[in-house]
Amino acid sequence: MTNFIIRDANIGDIAQIHAIYSQSVIEDTASWEYDPPTLQEMQRRYDALLSENFPYLVAVKGDEVLGYAYAGHYRPRIGYRFCVENSIYVSKTNQGIGVGKALLKSLVNECETRGFTEIIAVIGDSANTASIALHKSCGFYHVGLLPKVGFKFNKWLDSVLMQCSIAKANK
């Protein structure tokens, strides 16, 4: 495993976060956006999450952002206030070395600290076996499959739903 640390993201990380996400949007089905958002839009999204006290973390080695993870609203209605949806992205050159697992474990801990009780992973496509395995290794369990609800790269995509009960994951 490469030496890296997990810390809170800051505004100085946004350009590298944007680059990681943009590559994923262009090449992968983790996100079903077709066009990468602008740098300004990524900053707006970051600011919106922080303004509502959601965790936003980065894995860094020196000055390089290797990956990032955050939690946000699962649904906006008040009744869902203890449940969040997670997102996690790791740069192509840093996948498979433990960055994703370290980020996700830290995110689960941070969500618990902030009073959230459930985390939902909405995984873009059942073919994304690496993300499914990552979430399973961090205490998430399969709760549903929405077949062929998305369309990207000229193919229909499934949405895999996984859930983590935080109190159980941290015991």
Paired residues of 152 in beta bridges: 155
- What is the maximum span of the chain, computed from C-alpha positions, in angstroms? 43
pLDDT at 169: 58
Tell me if 28 sits within 8 A of 91, measured CB to CB.
no
β 56-61/5-8 pair status: antiparallel
State the 10-residue block means of pLDDT for the chain, 171 residues long: 89 98 97 98 98 97 97 96 98 96 98 96 95 97 97 97 82 49
**CATH number of residue 113's parent domain:** 3.40.630.30
Q: Which two tokens stand for residue 167?
A: 């109190």
* Owning domain of residue 52: 5-169
Domains in the chain, number:
1
* Cα gap 139→165, rounded to integer Å: 8
pTM value is 0.95
pLDDT at 73: 97
